[in-house]
Structure 1
Amino acid sequence: MSEHLYHKYVQHMTLEEKIAQLLQLAAPFYDEPGDDSEITGPLEELGIGSDTVRNAGSVLGVAGAEKVMAVQKKHLENSRLGIPLLFMADIVHGFKTIFPIPLAIGSSWNPELAEQSAAIAAREAAVSGLHVTFAPMLDLVRDPRWGRVMESTGEDPYLNSVFAKAFVEGFQGKNLTQDMSRVAACVKHFAAYGAAEGGRDYNTVDLSERQLREYYLPAYKAALDAGAEMVMTSFNVVDGIPATGNRKLLRGILRAEWGFDGVVISDWASIKEMVAHGAAEDDKEAALKAIWAGVDIDMMTVSYLNHLPELVEVGLVDEALIDEAVLRILQLKEKLGLFENPMRGADPALEKEIVFSAEHRRAARKLAEKSSVLLKNEGVLPLNIEQRVALIGPFADSGDILGWWSWTGSKEQVAKLSGAMRSLAGNAGLVTVAEGSGIHTITAVQKEAALKAAAAADVIVLAVGEASEMSGEGGSRTNIKLPDAQLELIRLMKGLGKPLAVVLFNGRPLDLHGVYDQADAVLEAWFPGSEGGAALADLLYGKVNPSGRLSVSFPDSVGQVPVYYNAFSTGRPKPQVEDGNRYISKYIDAPNEPLLPFGFGLSYTSFTYEGLTLSSGILKDDQPVEVKVKVINTGSLAGTETVQLYLRDRSGEVVRPVKELKAFKQVDLAPGESAEMIFAIEERQLRYHHSDLTVSSDPGWFDVYVGGNSRDVLAAEFRLI
């Protein structure tokens, strides 16, 4: 901890001033009289005239250079010691320029573009006055019912870790003090929020510690190893204890084991919510447990403000604990250069120049192209610019393609699919647009318009999906099919007997019954962001060849959930060829396997894998095994292939997954071109958490799988000695 900060500030602060540094307030508190906002809940409890509130340490959700500078100026006028505010916000997948949702970014399998997206988001946020983003969200997800699946990069701990590093380095750069175009990253949600029971938001998480460490913690650790400055606690319980009051999780794993010395912040009101969890009798006990656990900032409750003074007075909380928290907060403010320059990167003139600039929109368009996944194609795509196209569906002309956590984005400024397709067609009149249905309703008038548009078309493109509020925080669903109205629209169009392509806009893997079986082509767009329509038009017309690969499995039905590629085998696994045996691990009304596996994605060209070889059948500690495979573009177009390497430990001290992603590489190949892809397998990649939670590898046989997804692979084997 910084001694000079302690002597310059902390030792001169009253207890009330210290506790104020531990308080985070939301934007409405800082609105001027007459602004369109309400002071409710915790803000109402605080009282507008509170001296402590005027000295709060950080603010959530205030953005815009002029507004931030005005709030900071007023705050410093009221701060006895001149300690500046920290301005924070949820800049999850873009500030004003909105990139595809993180689940889509994960499907790009392109960490370089992910880092670029974070750097651009940081640049726009920083010039608009922000210092910290509540991102990246690194919760591993295996349940598409959970609305916040859209914030994650998927179901695999290795892939999530790769993106964790990329996002943190993009947000923070190499020197936060000197680089005013960057913001501090706050990793969330610590920990295991993605394992909420039933996919229901804010719900219970119950994992063994081995599962927690093996699958759910690696991405958080990767982000911290990359230098992330903050960690946000999750809403859920971990081993029966709310994460916000979980001493083992925060002071044990996070600080003692991992050496994290940055700031820990509660999620919105999660200290107070320990009472509802049944882990605290009242706010006072909640405050006690949170400060003991190591939570530095209380986001939007008065638990610390109201109760820490008394808890210190009666000796239940050592004031040194509060000093530690204050120092960590001040240390971050110092690292951001706020004591020397409280306005930091806020610049109204530059803000107008770079926010939502053409350069940034081009980057968003490229990532949307790389994130979209072609799920099916029976000769319909790419479209010919001379074809007559009926573009039909609730997303044909919609601006609702940004997705959740795009609070500063503008639906009015997005590149819509209708306009983009018309600009690429041989002439605009070749693309006829009809709504066809709403998200949840369909009328006779809409049907008639859709039928009229389709009647004159050579091919039908249906733009369907979820409204943005159907996923994201609080957006859990038990039925993850498209709404009935849109399924009816698909059936109606299918009945015309014309080539039918579906473009899906959604924030989660869907149950695609009524879509995948009806359409001749399916393009997964996710929520593609500000330039989504332009990117999708490029893909549909073949200006860009799809290269996205799923970072999460698509279930055959919701009844399979959770269904993920890196599962354990059972003692009675289902055979590859059905033998009529009832007494095996299977469903009697559905397949065991997902509809579409992890890593899956099609292209307008085709790739063939040949000649998988290993440099040795033996792996030793000091002697890696080299894996080689030849990848050939056997189609007629240039394309990008994501070559994926998986391993299986056939026999472990505890059972091991049937496959685990260990490496991947992307390669661009012209028609007829081939490339030799080379991977090195090292002993460290074979390690895992044993039953006693130690990490090591086991000697024995391993399978190597290489292919274009987790299902379609070539295989070889080696032995670790």
Structure 2
Amino acid sequence: TTILACVKHFAAYGASQAGRDYHTVDMSDRELRQNFLPPYKAALDAGAATVMTSFNELDGVPASGNHYLMTEILRNEWGFDGFVVTDYTSINEMVPHGVVANLKEAAELAFNAGVQMDMQGGVYSEYIPELLDEGKIKEADLNEYVRQVLEMKYKLGLFDDPYRYLNKEREQATLYSQEMMDHSLLAGKESIVLLKNEPAGRSSENLLPLSKNTRSVALIGPLADNQKDMLGTWHVAGDETKVITLLEGIKKTAPNVKINYARGADFNGDNQSGFAEALAAARRSDVVIMAIGEDYTQSGEAASRSEIGLPGPQQELIEAIHALGKPVVAVVMAGRPLTIEWIDEHIPAVMNAWHLGTMSGQAIAETLFGDHNPGGKLTITFPKNVGQIPVYYNMKNTGRPFDANNKYTSKYLDVSNEPLYPFGYGLSYTTFEYSNLKLSSNELSNDGSITVNVTVKNTGKYEGKEVVQMYIRDLVGSVTRPVKELKGFEKISLTPGESKQVSFTISTDDLKFYTRDMSFKAEPGDFKVFVGTSSAETLEADFALK
């Protein structure tokens, strides 16, 4: 072991009200345990050694002073024996939270909640001696906290050599080595999600992949020849000079294609002075590639936005380019889902490329020109507009589920309930057909299992990868249950015309939830199983737990 993995931020940091970073989190214990705690527990079960507290409060108590989270759940229920570290100065921040009057009280609250390490706040080093003398904290607890920290240092061998991992020569030989760049390229390509791909103009063929015999392309947008923003938020020591931009990637991937580049617009303000150059570049080209989205400061920590459309004048730019009648590919790069409904309605090919890191430009270029067939799937739901947020696939049905013909059902007046792109969605340059969904049995016993089989066939002309997804619905429970829950997925690769049978196993563990009395168990009854290419496009079958 050379590192200690840290689980962060504990807990429910992503559920802040109004989507505002550091803001209040307020949820039921059932919601917390059913949907938010399992990923933390899974990481600890996999060997993570430390836990970092979150900035938010939960049920009125900031996480860094929350005994229920840090001791009752983490230590007593889960048996965690590593150490807990705060996020940056979060003990100090309990004063403005309003649960303590001063830093000394903050140190006492955090210590007695079960926090071993104070990151950057300085309150432990200043106040622990006083608190110990006053009997407000126990010496036995202090000794245990010290043991937990020192034990981790011992496991890393830091008592033998505290500088053993500080090797500049090794760092220089490893970082940006060919092996690391290859890993970066692969990660980038596998992360790209194709959102739309249709014919443009009079062509009967989908716009993507682009031909390397294309005479000219216009490459337009603030992310077209941009190194720093490709690294995304919190890239810290990332070396932007090593980043392959999209412009560089296209030059390498399709060297015979003439590129007419123009930045066109920035990420902020409303300056449209670059539009003329961009429009001129588009007019001179056979195809337009728009590299648009967020810069690295516009998502991630402390980067909450009340509107999540394209920032700056980028929307106006792409609308102006579209008006020329040229085939347009939109490559959207961002750290979050953006509201791109207009783009989906008007642009024939749309690719979501996130911020892919050092080899971003090469990964995107190889995908645009067909060296790589995209197979990524969305791990989040894309809303049509911010009014739909929060929007997620595993919603509850309500007592008045959506009915387009009945006003008094759960829906909006001005937009449909469906998201722009559902969870698990992602296209390929080829096509896949699902068939023959079969269960080994339609009845599941408490100690048994059911095998779910489905046949997937590549019905297109390209070799491609598909993520086969299995969802389950519990039709009746002692508390309301989601309309679907992801319970399994498998990524397969198929050549044109090839078929594969994909199998999943369902046991009672997959059916457990926190019931009305907060026991975690599976309840007998009827279930549906769904298998398909996304949460919204599936085959289905039925079974019962006896």
Give your verdict on TM over 0.5: yes
- Trace 1:670-689 onto structure 2 (pairs within 5 A): 670-689=495-514
1:691: how far off? 2.5
The alignment partner of 2:313 has SS state of helix
**Which of the residues 411, 414, 417 maps onto 2:240?**
411
2:213 counterpart of 1:386: yes
Query: Aligned partner of 1:448: which letter?
Result: A
| Per-residue CA distance 1:331-359 (angstroms, 9 max, x = gap) | 01000001112222222222221122111
Give the superposition deviation at 1:193. Answer: 0.5
How many Å separate the matches in 2 of 1:257 and 1:426? 59
Q: What is the match of residue 555 of structure 1?
A: 383
Question: 2: distance between equivalents of 1:261 and 1:483?
Answer: 45
Structure 2 counterpart of 1:464, from 292, 297, 305: 292
Partner of 1:615: 440
Q: Deviations over 1:629-652 (max 9, x none)?
A: 110100000000000000000000
The amino acid across from 1:208 in the alignment is S
Q: Gapped runs of 5+ residues in structure 2?
A: 199-205
2:42 aligns with one of 222, 226, 239: 222
Aligned-pair distance for 1:514? 3.0
Aligned to 2:346, what secondary structure does the other structure show?
coil
> In structure 2, what residue type is equivalent to 1:451?
L
C-alpha contact (below 8 Å) 2:11/2:36 kept by paired residues = yes
Question: Which digits, 9 at most, give the CA deviation of each residue in 1:390-447, with x for residues without a partner?
Answer: 111111111121101110112222001001102222525x121111111124655411
Deviations 1:218-239 (A, max 9, x none): 0000011111110001111111
Specify the alignment match of 1:643 in structure 2.
Answer: 468
Q: Match for 1:602: what amino acid?
A: L
Q: After the TM superposition, which residues 105-124 of structure 1 pair with which residues of structure 2 at under 5 Å, given as runs? A: none
Corresponding residue number in structure 2 for 1:193: 13
Shift of 1:513: 3.0
Structure 1 contact 638–671 (Cα < 8 Å) conserved:
yes
- After superposition, residues 277-356 of structure 1 pair within 5 angstroms as 277-356=97-176
Q: Which amino acid in the other structure matches residue 679 of structure 1? A: F
Given that residues 265 and 272 in structure 2 are in contact (C-alpha distance below 8 angstroms), is that contact kept between their aligned partners in structure 1? no
Q: Which amino acid aligns with 2:210?
A: L
Q: Which structure 2 residues correspond to residues 426-575 of structure 1 after superposition, within 5 A?
A: 426-427=255-256, 430-441=258-269, 443=271, 445-575=273-403
CA distance in 2, matches of 1:483, 1:250: 39
**Residue equivalent to 1:396:** 224
The amino acid across from 1:307 in the alignment is Y
Q: CA RMSD in A?
A: 1.1
After TM superposition, the score normalised by the length of structure 2 is 0.97
* Match runs of 1:689-704 below 5 Å: 689-704=514-529
The match for 2:251 among 389, 399, 422 is 422
Contact 1:494 1:500 in 2 (8 A): yes
| Conserved? CA contact 2:341–2:420, under 8 Å | no
Secondary structure of the structure 2 residue equivalent to 1:448: helix
DSSP-derived class of the 2:341 partner: coil
| Alignment correspondent of 2:201 | none
Counterparts of 1:146-161 in structure 2, within 5 Å, are none
The alignment's TM-score, normalised by the length of structure 1, stands at 0.74
**Counterpart contact for 2:266–2:312, Cα < 8 Å:** no
In the alignment, the residues of structure 1 paired with residue 444 and residue 409 of structure 2 have an alpha-carbon distance, to the nearest angstrom, of 35
The answer to whether the aligner puts 1:592 opposite 2:421 as a matched pair is no
SS of residue in 2 equivalent to 1:640: strand
- Using the TM superposition, name which of 436-445 and 188-197 deviates more: 436-445
8 Å contact kept, 2:270–2:312 = no
Instruction: Report the residue type matching 1:407 in the other structure.
Output: V
Runs of 4+ displaced beyond 6 Å:
none
C-alpha separation between the residues in 2 aligned to 1:444 and 1:243?
A: 45
Mapped to 2, the partners of 1:444 and 1:259 lie a distance apart of 58
Q: Which residue of 2 aligns with 1:116?
A: none
* CA distance in structure 1 between the partners assigned to 2:31 and 2:458 by the alignment: 39
Q: Which has the higher helix share?
A: 1
Identity of counterpart residues, as a percentage?
47
- SS, match of residue 672 in structure 1: coil
Q: Does 1:717 align with 2:546?
A: no
Q: Which has the higher contact order (CA 8 A, sep 6+)?
A: 1
CA distance in 2, matches of 1:362, 1:632: 30
Deviates more, 1:438-447 or 1:388-397: 438-447
The structural deviation recorded for 1:537 is 0.3
Any idea what SS the aligned residue of 2:6 has?
strand
Residue 707 in 1 paired to residue 532 in 2? Answer: yes
- Cα distance in 1, alignment partners of residues 168 and 468 from structure 2: 45
Structure 2 counterpart SS, 1:322: helix
- Counterpart-to-counterpart distance in 1, 2:264 and 2:425: 30
Give secondary structure in 2 for the equivalent of 1:488.
helix
Secondary structure of 2:493's match? strand
Give unpaired runs (5+ residues) of structure 1. 1-175, 177-181
Distance 2:345 2:267 in 1: 20
- Residue identity opposite 1:516 in structure 2: D
Q: Deviations over 1:105-147 (max 9, x none)?
A: xxxxxxxxxxxxxxxxxxxxxxxxxxxxxxxxxxxxxxxxxxx
Q: What is the aligned residue count?
A: 537
Q: Please list the CA deviations of residues 177-202 of structure 1 after superposition, one character each: whole Å capped at 9, or x if unmatched.
A: xxxxx311111001001101011011
Q: Which residue of structure 2 lines up, in the alignment, with residue 259 of structure 1?
A: 79
Q: Tell me how far apart the structure 2 counterparts of residues 215 and 542 of structure 1 sit (CA, whole Å).
A: 38
8 A Cα contact 1:490 1:518, kept in partner: no
CA distance in 2 between counterparts of 1:246 and 1:444 reads 50
Q: Would you say the 8 A contact 1:618–1:719 is kept in 2?
A: yes
1:141 aligns with none
The alpha carbon displacement at 1:484 in A equals: 4.5
User: In 2, are the aligned partners of 1:440 and 1:486 still within 8 Å (CA)?
Assistant: no
For residues 598-620 of structure 1, the C-alpha deviation after alignment (integer angstroms, 9 at most, x for no partner) is 00000000001011111111111
- Could you tell me how far apart the structure 1 residues matched to 2:483 and 2:222 are? 40
Tell me if the contact between 2:223 and 2:292 (Cα under 8 Å) persists in the aligned partners.
Answer: yes
CA contact (8 A) 1:490 1:514 kept: no
- Listed one character per residue, the Cα deviations across residues 4-44 of structure 1 (whole Å, up to 9, x for unaligned) are xxxxxxxxxxxxxxxxxxxxxxxxxxxxxxxxxxxxxxxxx
Deviations 1:369-394 (A, max 9, x none): 00010001111111111111111111
Aligned 1:152-191 pairs, distance under 5 A: 176=1, 182-191=2-11
Aligned partners of 2:219 and 2:168: how far apart in 1?
Answer: 41
Q: Is the 8 A contact 2:512 2:523 kept in 1?
A: yes
User: What CA deviation, in whole Å up to 9, does each residue of 1:573-630 have, x standing for no partner?
Assistant: 013xx32x11101001011121100000000000010111111111112331111111
Mapped contact 1:210–1:691 kept (Cα < 8 A): no
CA deviation digits over 1:136-172, x for unaligned, max 9? xxxxxxxxxxxxxxxxxxxxxxxxxxxxxxxxxxxxx
**How far is the alpha carbon of 1:516 from its aligned partner?**
1.8
Deviations 1:483-539 (A, max 9, x none): 250001101110010111000110001111332222111100000100000000000
Change over 3 Å in CA distance of 1:270–1:445 after alignment to 2? closer
The residue that corresponds to 1:231 in the other structure is: 51
Structure 2 residue aligned with 1:161: none
Q: Identify the match of residue 243 of structure 1 among 50, 63, 76.
A: 63
The residue identity in structure 1 corresponding to 2:95 is V
